[in-house]
Amino acid sequence: MKGSISKIETSGFVDGPGIRTVVFLNGCKLRCKYCHNPEMWYLKDLNYTVSELVQKILHNKEYFGKKGGVTFSGGEPLLQSEFLIEVCKCLKKHNINIALDTAGVGNGNYEDLLSLVDLVILDIKDTNAADYRELTSYPMNESLKFIEMCNQLKKKIWIRQVIVPGRNDNNDYLKSLKEFIKQIDNVEKIEFLPYHNMAIGKYKELGIDYPYKHIKSMDKVICDELYDKFINMLED
């Protein structure tokens, strides 16, 4: 069995705890208007066997320490779940900590993969179904099914929310996010990521229109202030 991998980064510090190898898998059903990895939207060459990818990850094991491990990201790793299940089964034999960075939209049947995963880093696209579709060009239902399965399996979750100026940098959205997150069990951490437009060059190279070219990058200080406000709201 082979998988389609876009790139592998060997010293990630932000996609899960500790030092991590981050594997970016090709393929995604969503078309988020702010996506900074459009080169990963389509499944390309099947370029890694299970054993090749496992060996590549194990090669970095000595750097993982007690907290680190591997994070599968993309693209959308759930689109290659059968391949990942085989990879994760091998990694578990070596006690490797496994995180899955996902928007929760694959081909269904998430149970087998999730049962091998230690942490889910869940990208919340929007709390409202119409706005979710407007942002991603995809219906929200599949991501809700994924959240339900995470709850059933009591998976530890880190929430990620991209904050886009003029879209969700406001109190009403923060309130709706608070309500949305209530339906997710075992949330261990919440992160706000300021939207940036650094991917414009990639879109030009690929000959794709960049839908958010009119939106400036989110000010990091304002994003941090919104985050503090949100955390206070959660404590109310």
- The footprint of ligand SF4 (CB under 6 A) covers 28, 30-32, 35, 37, 40, 74-76, 103
Given a contact cutoff of 8 angstroms between Cβ atoms, the answer to whether 105 and 138 are in contact is: yes
Please give the structure tokens belonging to residue 86: 């085989």
21 vs 73, which CB is nearer to ligand SF4? 73
21 vs 102, which CB is nearer to ligand SF4? 102
212: closest CA among 177, 173, 164? 164
Measured in Å, how far apart are the chain's first and last C-alpha atoms?
A: 50
4 vs 60, which CB is nearer to ligand SF4? 4
Given a contact cutoff of 8 angstroms between Cβ atoms, the answer to whether 38 and 203 are in contact is: yes
31 vs 61, which CB is nearer to ligand SF4? 31
At residue 130, the 3 state secondary structure works out as helix
DSSP H helical segments within the chain, as ranges? 50-58, 61-64, 81-93, 111-114, 129-136, 141-152, 171-182, 200-206, 220-235
Given a contact cutoff of 8 angstroms between Cβ atoms, the answer to whether 3 and 40 are in contact is: no
The single-letter DSSP state of residue 26 is -
Please give the structure tokens belonging to residue 22: 């981050």
Sequence-distant (≥ 6) Cβ neighbours of residue 93 within 8 angstroms: none
| Least spacing, CB of residue 102 vs ligand SF4, in Å | 8
| Least spacing, CB of residue 122 vs ligand SF4, in Å | 11
| Least spacing, CB of residue 40 vs ligand SF4, in Å | 6
76 vs 86, which CB is nearer to ligand SF4? 76
| Least spacing, CB of residue 15 vs ligand SF4, in Å | 13
| Least spacing, CB of residue 104 vs ligand SF4, in Å | 9
105 vs 114, which CB is nearer to ligand SF4? 105
